[in-house]
Amino acid sequence: MGIAIAFKDISKHYGEVSALKQVSFSVEEGEFFSMLGPSGSGKTTSLRLMAGFEQPSSGSLSLLGQEAAGTPPYARDVNTVFQDYALFPHMNVLDNVAYGLMVRKMPKAERHALAQEALAMVALPEHGKRTPAQLSGGQRQRVALARALVNRPRILLLDEPLGALDLKLREQMQVELKVLHRKLGITFVYVTHDQGEALSMSDRIAVFNHGRIEQIATPRGLYHQPRTRFVADFVGSANVFAADVAQALCGKRQSFAVRQENILVSAAGSAPIDGALLMPGELLTVQFLGASQRLEVQVGSQVITALQADKSSASSSLIESNLFEPGLPVTLQWRAQHMVLLDD
Amino acid sequence: MTEASAMASTALPALPTLNHNWRNSLSTLLYQRRTLTLFLLLLPPLLWFGVVYIGSLFTLLSQSIFTFDEMAMSVSAELTTDNFVSLLNPANYDIVLRTLGMAVAVTLGTVAIGFPVAYYMAHYAGPREKGFFFVGVMLPMWASYIVKAYAWTVLLAQGGVIYWVLRQLGLLPVLEAVLRLPVIGGDTLATSNLGRFLVLTYIWLPFMILPIQAAIERVPANLLLASADLGAHPFKTFTSVLWPLAFPGVVAGSIFTFSLTLGDYIIPQLVGPSGLYIGNMVYTLQGTIGNIPMAAAFTCVPIVLITLYLALARRLGAFNAL
């Protein structure tokens, strides 16, 4: 498999503001590549550079092995699904989907047949004669997808395509997108600020922050081996401890992260697990989440969050009672292998 | 509970009570009787439009089927279609065609100049720049129409600025060649149809820019990007996306430029070749001769033309996006 997209030392400035600072990475052909980060982190700018809506201030960008800087959007073998769908309001759904083919001067009957096929692929075969205004948000999303895919691009860019949908529809579309990606075998580049979305769909994820890439890894790699404080916090909200805490615990002077679910909270004085690292604290709040509960514990000046199974059950007498009450002195413990040392 | 409420009442100062005077009672009455409220709101504009405006227009138009006695120079209420029939004799027909031709030309000219300006204002200008453009576009409208018209006669005159600039640039022969062309040409710029076209285009341009600007502003920039993304060249994006979506604005603007040109009678007098326009004809018939029935018949022409134009625009789908 070749390289679909390569960024080499790309910077992008808007006046005084720099949106991307010397970013280099590459996306392989056929990969589901996500760009994850908060707003203003540079992920959308990167996508717009790939689409050709913006030109890099410096650096080189190649698409499918060819230098792409200076190539206008209409000359790129790339199609985009926009966050707000960007369907043409003055055309019906079928003409929207057939637009790319119309531009290529394909005869009407032929392009309508292909557009109809694409609509069937996104499960909207009956909706061709409607206008975009007559569709629901989820349906518009599918039309936007069909409109991009009907051109058989080798790279599909998706700019937070599920951002405007409600949770249930979003989860359903995540599965459908993943199935579609496997079926088509083309490169998907997916921009999102939702870490759950990125983790569940991607082959690899690039985490953006302040115009730089903090880390590129597989979802599991990113989750279990975050390299920086930002990644540890942004992906799965791990607890990040300062370097001096590590020095007191195990002698190494380096900040580290521990995932919420890897911290065990028990009442102070109960027997510790063998070889676990211990830390005393005071329980602040308990949130019942169903299968689990989230505990917040004050440790010195820091608040640590732990996620653990909820022990109450329908048959027990513990339904209304809880072992944990705010104010309780507790011990936090975790195994050394769950400490992830961070660069920063 | 009681302790808490006692604490709250001592801690907070008492709110002033709502007083129920006649104004409140009136508000309540209007709130409960929505139809009455809407009726009161609409009454003044309905009186103005319905009675004063439409009513007087109708009175004028109804005169078009009255008879004008040329010997007695008086109007009698004998009904006739003669006035409309005489619109078709060549002298009158010419006036209609001359006016219509200029109205179409001015409309096309203002679209050609106004669209790029409107596009820039809507999609590129920042807030400060946009304010500057709005003032710049509307500034000429603050000056008196007659002043602008006379100013143009000076600009276009043979010793005027335009001739001077062209002479300095050595382009005077080009102008002279253009002025030798039939229809648009003439002895000088000030007495040519080209000169008249320039003045009318200048005067009505703001009426074209503003509606187009409003229409383009409602077109999301992402639609233009999506078109390019799907492989369309800028020209194709213009014809397939931007123009159809901005078209209602173009139609709105052209209604202004079209009808304002059809009704103008001052600029045709001051600039351009001899030959009457509909406005001049109405002015002459009514003011000089007192042939109000024939003037009314001429007044019907722009109304019919605009109605036909709107019907055509509707068939072209100009109002689908509204």
Q: What is the pLDDT of residues A188-210, one digit of tens each?
A: 999 999 998 999 999 999 999 99
The verdict on a CB contact (< 8 Å) between A103 and B231 is yes
CA distance B229 to chain A (A): 5
- Look up residue B219 and give its two tokens: 């077109």
B89-315 under CATH 1.10.760.10, yes or no: no
- Look up residue B133 and give its two tokens: 């453009």
- Burial environment of residue B174 by CB neighbours within 10 A (0 to 12, 13 to 18, 19 or more): exposed
- Look up residue B246 and give its two tokens: 């901005």
Residue B317 predicted with pLDDT over 90: no
Residue A323 neighbours by CB distance under 10 Å: 12
- Which residue of B lies nearest to A153 if distances are taken between CA atoms? B230
Q: What pLDDT is attached to residue A222?
A: 92
* pLDDT-based confidence at residue A319 (cuts at 50, 70, 90): very low
| H/E stretch holding A331 | strand A329-334
Among A114-128, B101-115, B260-274, which range has the highest average pLDDT? B101-115
The verdict on a CB contact (< 8 Å) between B225 and A88 is no
CA quadruple A38, A80, A113, A178: dihedral positive or negative?
A: negative
Query: What ranges do the domains of chain B cover?
Result: 89-315
Q: What is the average pLDDT value for chain A, to the nearest integer?
A: 89
Residue B232 predicted with pLDDT over 80: yes
- Which residue of B lies nearest to A149 if distances are taken between CA atoms? B230
Measured N-to-C along each axis, helices B161-169 and B145-156 cross at an angle, to the nearest 10 degrees, of 40
Total residues belonging to chain B: 322
* pLDDT-based confidence at residue A103 (cuts at 50, 70, 90): very high
Q: What pLDDT is attached to residue B3?
A: 45
| CA gap B27, A8 in Å, rounded | 68
* pLDDT-based confidence at residue B75 (cuts at 50, 70, 90): confident
| Least confident stretch, A92-101, A211-220, B19-28 | B19-28
Higher pLDDT, A165 or A139: A139
Query: Residue A103: which of B236, B317, B320 has the nearest Cβ?
Result: B236
Selected residues 185-224 of chain B with any CB under 8 Å from a CB in chain A = 220, 222-223
Higher pLDDT, B195 or B315: B195
* pLDDT-based confidence at residue A316 (cuts at 50, 70, 90): low
Q: What pLDDT is attached to residue B1?
A: 40
CA distance A85 to chain B (A): 9
The verdict on a CB contact (< 8 Å) between A104 and B226 is no
The verdict on a CB contact (< 8 Å) between A53 and B225 is yes
CA quadruple B266, B267, B272, B277: dihedral positive or negative?
A: negative
Q: Which one of A103, A111, A145 would you mutate to disrupt binding with B, by most B Cβ within 10 Å of its Cβ?
A: A103
The verdict on a CB contact (< 8 Å) between B220 and A84 is yes
Query: What does DSSP say about strands A78-81 and A292-299: parallel, antiparallel, or unpaired?
Result: unpaired
Interface of A with B (CB under 8 A): 51-53, 72-74, 78-80, 82, 84, 86-90, 99-100, 102-104, 147-148, 151
Residue B316 predicted with pLDDT over 70: yes
* pLDDT-based confidence at residue B143 (cuts at 50, 70, 90): confident
Cβ-based contacts under 8 A for chains A and B? 64
Residue B321 predicted with pLDDT over 90: no
The verdict on a CB contact (< 8 Å) between B222 and A72 is no
Residue type, A170: R
Residue A181 predicted with pLDDT over 70: yes
Asked if A236 and A259 count as a contact pair (C-beta separation under 8 A), the reply is: yes
DSSP string for residues in B70-104: TTTTEEE----SHHHHHHTSHHHHHHHHHHHHHHH
The verdict on a CB contact (< 8 Å) between A51 and B230 is no
Asked if A297 and A303 count as a contact pair (C-beta separation under 8 A), the reply is: yes
ipTM confidence score: 0.85
Asked if B104 and B308 count as a contact pair (C-beta separation under 8 A), the reply is: no
Q: What pLDDT is attached to residue B2?
A: 44
Query: Residue A72: which of B226, B228, B320 has the nearest Cβ?
Result: B228
Total residues belonging to chain A: 344
pLDDT digit string (tens) for A125-156? 999 999 999 999 889 999 999 999 999 999 99
Percentage of residues of chain B with pLDDT beyond 70: 95
- Which are the contacts of A268, defined by CB distance < 8 A and separation ≥ 6? A280, A328, A329, A330, A331
3-state secondary structure A79-133: EEECCCCCCCCCCCHHHHHHHHHHHCCCCHHHHHHHHHHHHHHCCCCCCCCCCHH
Q: What pTM, to 2 d.p., does this model score? A: 0.82
Q: What pLDDT is attached to residue B209?
A: 95
Domains of chain A: 3-228 (3.40.50.300), 239-341 (2.40.50.100)
* pLDDT-based confidence at residue A314 (cuts at 50, 70, 90): low
DSSP string for residues in B18-73: PP--HHHHHHHHHHH-HHHHHHHHHHHHHIIIIIIIIHHHHHHHHGGGSEEETTTT
Q: Which one of B229, B235, B320 would you mutate to disrupt binding with A, by most A Cβ within 10 Å of its Cβ?
A: B229
Query: Residue B223: which of A53, A86, A104 has the nearest Cβ?
Result: A86
Residue A56 neighbours by CB distance under 10 Å: 22
| H helix intervals, chain B | 2-11, 22-32, 34-46, 55-62, 82-87, 90-123, 127-142, 145-156, 161-169, 172-179, 193-217, 221-229, 234-237, 243-263, 267-270, 278-283, 292-315
- Burial environment of residue B205 by CB neighbours within 10 A (0 to 12, 13 to 18, 19 or more): buried
Query: What does DSSP say about strands A155-159 and A187-192: parallel, antiparallel, or unpaired?
Result: parallel
pLDDT digit string (tens) for A26-77? 999 999 999 999 998 999 999 999 999 999 999 999 999 999 988 999 999 9
The verdict on a CB contact (< 8 Å) between B225 and A86 is yes
Q: Is B161 on the interface with A (CB under 8 A)?
A: no
Q: Which residues of A touch B244 (CB under 8 A)?
A: 90
- Look up residue B206 and give its two tokens: 């703001």
Find tokens 């359903």 and name the residue: A172
Q: Which residues of A touch B228 (CB under 8 A)?
A: 52-53, 72-74
Percentage of residues of chain A with pLDDT beyond 90: 57
* pLDDT-based confidence at residue A344 (cuts at 50, 70, 90): low
Residue B135 neighbours by CB distance under 10 Å: 10
| CA gap B116, B127 in Å, rounded | 18
Residue B111 predicted with pLDDT over 90: yes
Q: What pLDDT is attached to residue B203?
A: 93
Q: What pLDDT is attached to residue A227?
A: 92
Please compute the mean of the pLDDT values over residues A324-336 and round it to a whole number. 85
